[in-house]
Structure 1
Amino acid sequence: MIKNVHGNTVDHLGQAILGGKYPPGQAIPPEPMLCEELGVSRTVVREAVKSLIAKGLVTSGPKVGTRVQPADQWNWFDPDVILWQSKIGLTPEFLRDLQDLRRIMEPAAVRMAAERATPEDIAEMEAAFEGMRRAVEEGGDYVTYDLRFHQGLLKACRNRMIVQMSKALSALLRTSFEISTTRKDGPRNSLPMHRAVLDAVIAHNPGRAEKAILQLIDGARADIEAVLTSRRRLPRLSEPVRMLRSY
C-alpha cells in the first residue's frame, strides 16, 4: 500500500525514534527543522506528532517541546511500532517478549476456538493448512499460509475484542514465523504440529487443542533461540499484516 505524506512522515519519525536517533528523554527537532528536513508543511509535522503521541512514542508540552518516551511506554501492540522495530532490526529481547506473549495468549484463544469454531472457520483453517502443506512439498510462501492458519484460530474464538486485536497480534505472529522458518526443515517439522492443533479444534476438544498449541509454540521458541545463538542476521519485515474481518 502506498502511503500519503502524513503516513510517510510518521514512518520516518517513528523509525528514527526506534532506531535511537532520538533517544528517550531527548526532544525531537522543532517543527521548522523537521519541515525543512522532510520537505513537508507544519500541518503535516503536527499531525505526525499527534500520531506518535497516540502510539506512546513521544509526549508534548509547553516549554519542554516534544520528547521521546521510554521504550516501556511505547505501544508494542501497535502494528506500526512492530513494523518499525522489524525494519530497523529485531532484538533478542523483543523476540523473547513475543514468545512469552504467545505462550500466555494463544493457548487460551485455542481453547475458545475449540469450543466455538463453526464449519466455516474450520474450512478456512483447512485451506490455510493445505497452503502450508503445498509450500513445504512444492515450494511457496509458507509464512503467509501459516499466518492465515493462526488468524483463523483467532477468528474462530468468535470474540469481537480478539478480532479487533488481531491486527497487532498478527503482526507479532508474523515476526515470530519469519524467524522460526529460517531454520532448516522448520516448516516441514512444524506441519504435523499444526495438524494436531487443527484436529483438536475439529474434535471440539479444548484440552487437546491447548496441549497441541503449546507444543507448537515451544517448538517455535526453540527455533528462535537457535537462530539467536547462531548470530545469524535476523530477517526484516517489509509489509504490515492485514486485519481479520469481524464476523
Structure 2
Amino acid sequence: MENEIQKFEVYIWKPKQTKLSVNINKIAVLRNSRGGNNPNVTQAAIDAQRFGADGITVHPRPDERHIRYSDVREIKKIITTEFNIEGNCREQKFIDLVLEVKPDQVTLVPDAIGQITSNHGWDTIKNQDYLKEMVAVFQKENIRVSIFVDPIVEMVEAAKTTGTDRIELYTESYATNYLVDKNKAIKEYIKAAHRAQVLGLGLNAGHDLDLHNLKFFKQNIPYLDEVSIGHALIADAIYLGFENTIQMYKRQISEP
C-alpha cells in the first residue's frame, strides 16, 4: 500500500504534454448534407495537421452518415501525425477496417446502431472478457488500444484487467456541470484519472470539451495524454477560422 501511495503522489504532480486530436466527423456531416465533395474531408485532415493538430480522429458508423469508410482509407494515405479511429468493436465491419488501415490508436466505444453520438462508457466489469479478447486482436497488429469509460474508479480498474493501453474518460457530465460548479464537476474525473495513473494506464479524454472548460480540466489532470475534440472545435472554427481555433485549443492544454 505504501508503494502504491508513493507512486500515486508522483503521478499527481508529473505533467505531460497533452496532445490535441481533432475529430473531423462534422466536416463530413457538412459535406454529406449537400453531396459532392465540398468540404473535402481529406483536405481537412491535411489542413488540421498543418495548422498544428497532434492527431486526427474519425468515428465511422455503419450507416456512414458522416465519416465514410472510404474517407478513413484516404486519410490513412496522407496522415503525418497520429491517427485515431473510434468505433464499436461489436461491428465486424469496424474491426475489419481498423485491421486493414492500422491506425496508431483504436478507441473502443459502446455505441448502439443509429445512436446520434456517444453517450456512455463501457461497463468494463460486465464486458471484461469480451474487451480482453478485442484488445488482444488490435494489439496483435501493434495498434494502441483505448477504452471509452465513465469516470468511475471501478470501471477504470476493470479496464486495466483487459490489457488495454489507455482509457478515454467520457467528459459529457463534466462539461454539463462545469458552469454550475466546476470543482464538483471535475471531482470524479480526478479520482478516476489518479487511479488510472497508479495502474499504469495511459489517459485520454473527450466529449463536449471546449474553449471554456478545457483548460480547467487539464490543470486538474496534468498528466493527460490526449484530448479528442470535434464538435465544439469545428463550430468555433466557423467564427474563428480553422487554423486559429486549433491553436487556441492547443493553448488551453499547454498553458499552466
- TM bracket (short chain): under 0.3
Structure with greater proportional helix content: 1
Larger radius of gyration: 1
TM-score between the two structures when normalised by the length of structure 2: 0.24
Task: Provide TM-score, normalisation by structure 1.
Answer: 0.25
